[in-house]
Structure 1
Amino acid sequence: MENKINYQLPSAVAEEAAGKINEAVSLLSPYLIALNAEERQSLPKMSDGTAPFVEKCLDYCESDAQFAPPFLDLEGFQNDMDSWEKLMAILRPVQQLAANLDDTTTQAGSEGYTAALMYYNSVKQAAKLSIPGSKTIYDDLKKRFASNGNRTVE
């Protein structure tokens, strides 16, 4: 098994990054909303393919306002697009960061769990051979697998 996470993340780096993320959360929180699953599902979605159409419609609303329906809030439309553009510029790198954090924590956790299983299996063998001190450790560690009848320990 390749050990891809063969370093210690400096505490100062982790603390500074967490602080900056918390700062961004605090800075943006007055401008963010939360949608429930029903609301999210019911909304028409704007994607990279839809954005040019929406931007073109906004341009036409501004240049040829006579075709805009009287109930269309042009200022609200402009504000929506301005907010969308600015928030997307923030969201894209955050999504990349979240994906990379997820990949890295998955890898680090997998490596840690694999190392733990190696130790566990070594203690298990030592307990089978009645090596002093191993049975107490094995009895403590095997509790993790007690309720997992269908799982196998590697």
Structure 2
Amino acid sequence: MTNKVSAEVTEAMMAEFKKDMEAIKAKYPWLISLTEEERNSGLRIGDKTYTFVSKVVEYVDSHPEYLPSYINVAELKKDFKLWNDLYTMLRLNTLLSNAITDTAIQAGNEAMEAALSYYSSVKEAAKRGAPGAQTIYDELRARFAGRPVKKEAAK
């Protein structure tokens, strides 16, 4: 069995992490939460539209004669800068989130691998009539309820 991860999150570390997350969120009280409908229906800036918006921000200064009166240029520039800054923050957050996710996946993989090895050992011990093994096996096999039992090949 491989062991890529061998670490521990203490109660103090977890408390500090939660405190840090709350402190970060408190620094940006203007962050909002969208409904699922709002998230899916709004316009977005992506790889293809970034250049378009960037050019518009340039052109509103160099060619203001085409600017509709209802567009607030200062707010347009402020929103675009905010998007750029938040996108940078999002990329940094994604790196941290991915590292946490990958570490959790690996730790879970290692725990499940060890648990399945133990389960196999208990199963074999129950087949051989080892004291107490059948009780443990019966409790653990409930995890696999509903799955077809593999039939052993004819000997």
Task: Please tell me the TM-score bracket, short chain as reference.
Answer: 0.7 to 0.9
Residue 72 of structure 1 is matched in structure 2 by 71
Distance 1:68 1:90, change over 3 A: same
Return the offset for 1:108: 1.0
AA in 1 matched with 2:79? D
Distance 1:150 1:93, change over 3 A: farther
Residue 2 of structure 1 is matched in structure 2 by 2
Return the offset for 1:2: 2.6
Return the offset for 1:49: 3.5
Deviating beyond 3 angstroms after TM superposition, the runs of 4 or more aligned structure 1 residues are 12-18
Inter-partner Cα distance in structure 2 for 1:130 and 1:151: 20
Return the offset for 1:109: 0.6
Q: Within 5 Å, which residues of 2 pair with 1:5-154?
A: 5=5, 7-11=6-10, 13-28=13-28, 30-146=29-145, 148-150=146-148
2:98 aligned counterpart, secondary structure: helix
Inter-partner Cα distance in structure 2 for 1:151 and 1:92: 46
Inter-partner Cα distance in structure 2 for 1:104 and 1:8: 10
Return the offset for 1:151: 8.0
With 116-125 and 81-90 compared, the bigger mean Cα shift is at 81-90
Please give the root-mean-square deviation of Cα atoms over the aligned residues, in Å.
Answer: 2.1
Q: TM-score, length-normalised on structure 1?
A: 0.83
Inter-partner Cα distance in structure 1 for 2:66 and 2:124: 80
Inter-partner Cα distance in structure 2 for 1:150 and 1:82: 57
Q: TM-score, length-normalised on structure 2?
A: 0.82
Seq. identity, %: 36
Inter-partner Cα distance in structure 1 for 2:102 and 2:40: 27
Distance 1:74 1:124, change over 3 A: same
Inter-partner Cα distance in structure 2 for 1:145 and 1:119: 15
Inter-partner Cα distance in structure 2 for 1:16 and 1:151: 46
Unaligned runs of 5+ in 1: none
Inter-partner Cα distance in structure 2 for 1:150 and 1:102: 32
Inter-partner Cα distance in structure 2 for 1:86 and 1:151: 55
Inter-partner Cα distance in structure 2 for 1:151 and 1:80: 59
Q: Deviations over 1:92-144 (max 9, x none)?
A: 11012112211211111111111111101101110111111212211221222
Q: Deviations over 1:22-47 (max 9, x none)?
A: 2112222x222222333222222201
